[in-house]
Amino acid sequence: MPFDLHDTIAALSSPPGPAQRGIVRISGSAIRDALNGLFRPDDPPLWETARLPQRHPGSFWLADIQRWMSVDIFLWPTQRSYTGQPMAEVHTCGSPPLLEAILAAIYAADVRPARGGEFTLRSFLAGKVDLLQAEAVLGVIDADDQVQLNAALQQLAGGISGDINTVREDLLSLLADLEAGLDFVEEDIEFVDNREILARLTLAETRITSLLEQAVDRMRSTGTARVVLAGRPNVGKSTLFNALLGRDAALVSEIAGTTRDYLAAEVNWHGRPIELLDTAGWELQSEGPLQAALALREDQLQRADLIIWCVSADEPPDPLLKEADCGNARSLTVLTKCDLPDTTGPASALRVSAVTGAGLEELTAAVASELSQDSAAPQQLLGTTGARCRDSLHGAVESLQRAREVAELSAGDELLSIEIRVALEELGKVSGAVYTDDILDRIFSKFCIGK
């Protein structure tokens, strides 16, 4: 993406389609020149002398239909705007043909169409937002549920940026102390002792490791969660699957082992999008065609965010379920067939009946609650940010680990300074203090036009 910062750009900023209000956004040093030939303000002296952000009601000339249209123009005449440039927004009725006519008139005034994400790119390059906050703008727009929206808003507010900047400032301070000592090495002046160096490196490593764990968690928990129904054959998994969907998606039979492949369906429970999977019955070993089904089941268990262990309430608890390798997934135990007489099972387990519907609402609420614990931290990274930042955070942690080893061996402040500089560069990639055109292309190419 070329950085044509001297161009004046414009685009539709409101969502496409009919609406009560539509917004056309313009940014660049020539916005007054472009608008002066098109806009007739109700208060011309105020428009001409404005130095502060202000609303200017007036009329806009639409050459395509040869008439004036009532509009409000919100003008930011200086660099105190979202983009760090003079900026304006034309607010009027959200009629698509009307907005197209306004854009056509503006483009005819030597203003070019904005590229996707170009307004936010200019904001980043002007230092109004860092790269984490720029990604959060897209996160707010693309949020599918409350969890994603909250994560985006927290990131936009600068929570993660503040954490990164705190660590960077601490490391810069330590680096300054070390390099000051190098300047006076012949005088044998010690600006910071080894014990303090180790303590400060350990604190920085701990903080970055916490951010790295958040990045990994967000990559795993952002978007649709994978919830797997698992258990012995014929404990009612497929019947429960159908009941939770409210339709017959899975073949149900009294013959054990009916489910050979896995079935998947999209649901939304209490604001959380979920992919619900029904898997083959639990058998530790099997031969023949069933072995392929069990391999698929094993793969789904490994990739699950949450496993619902189904145990028939008319049978004793199955100890074989404890032998399942479920990776890092959370789990819930559910007693199925609780409509049958003389049912047993631990009091702590959820009790459901796919036949009567008893306990289904409690089950969906429990699943949503368990999954929300992955997103309970007050400051979080978006999943897209986590994917971008993971390698850089990992690189920063490794550099600080090497720095600690150098300090423990008293191998010299020169080597120590090198490792700290590497860690600072990796942290700079996260916040955008260090960037390449390729990184910016990958991030801002995901934005829609007008943002």
Best CA proximity match to 166, nearest among 106, 227, 208, 119: 208
395 is in an annotated binding site: no
Confidence tier at 450 by pLDDT (50, 70, 90): confident
239 is in an annotated binding site: yes
79: pLDDT strictly greater than 50 = yes
In the chain, the percentage of residues whose pLDDT exceeds 70 is: 76
Lowest mean pLDDT among 91-95, 236-240, 290-294, 315-319: 290-294
337 is in an annotated binding site: no
Confidence tier at 288 by pLDDT (50, 70, 90): low
406 is in an annotated binding site: no
93: pLDDT strictly greater than 90 = yes
451 is in an annotated binding site: yes
Compute the distance between CA of residue 448 and CA of residue 116 in angstroms, rounded to an integer: 5
What are the tens digits of pLDDT across the range 312-358?
877 766 655 555 555 556 888 888 888 887 666 666 678 898 888 88
Compute the distance between CA of residue 8 and CA of residue 362 in angstroms, rounded to an integer: 56
Q: Which residue has the tokens 């008439």?
A: 67
169: pLDDT strictly greater than 50 = yes
Q: Show the domains of the chain with their CATH numbers.
A: 9-130 (3.30.1360.120), 144-219+382-432 (1.20.120.430), 226-375 (3.40.50.300)
**How many Cβ atoms from other residues are within 10 Å of residue 183's Cβ?**
10
Compute the distance between CA of residue 340 and CA of residue 321 in angstroms, rounded to an integer: 22
pLDDT at 212: 80
Compute the distance between CA of residue 364 and CA of residue 357 in angstroms, rounded to an integer: 12
Confidence tier at 160 by pLDDT (50, 70, 90): confident
Compute the distance between CA of residue 98 and CA of residue 95 in angstroms, rounded to an integer: 5
pLDDT at 377: 47
Confidence tier at 213 by pLDDT (50, 70, 90): confident
Q: Which residue has the higher pLDDT, 132 or 320?
A: 132
How far are the Cα atoms of 79, 86, 175, 261, 270 from residue 275, in angstroms, in the given order? 46, 46, 48, 16, 14
Mean pLDDT of 253-270: 66
- Per the CB < 8 A criterion, the answer to whether 192 and 178 are in contact is yes
CA quadruple 269, 275, 280, 286: dihedral sign = negative
Lowest mean pLDDT among 11-20, 30-39, 107-116, 186-195: 186-195
- Per the CB < 8 A criterion, the answer to whether 198 and 407 are in contact is yes
259 is in an annotated binding site: yes
Mean pLDDT of 191-206: 87
pLDDT at 225: 79
Residues belonging to the chain: 451
Q: Which residue has the higher pLDDT, 429 or 151?
A: 429
238 is in an annotated binding site: yes
100: pLDDT strictly greater than 50 = yes
231 is in an annotated binding site: no
209 is in an annotated binding site: no
pLDDT at 12: 94
Q: Which residue has the higher pLDDT, 18 or 391?
A: 18
236 is in an annotated binding site: yes
pLDDT at 141: 72
pLDDT at 254: 47
Confidence tier at 203 by pLDDT (50, 70, 90): very high
Mean pLDDT of 362-380: 72
254 is in an annotated binding site: yes
278 is in an annotated binding site: yes
Compute the distance between CA of residue 425 and CA of residue 432 in angstroms, rounded to an integer: 10
Mean pLDDT of 416-432: 88
283 is in an annotated binding site: no
256: pLDDT strictly greater than 50 = no
pLDDT at 154: 76
329 is in an annotated binding site: no
410 is in an annotated binding site: no
43 is in an annotated binding site: no
pLDDT at 155: 76
- Per the CB < 8 A criterion, the answer to whether 67 and 38 are in contact is no
127 is in an annotated binding site: no
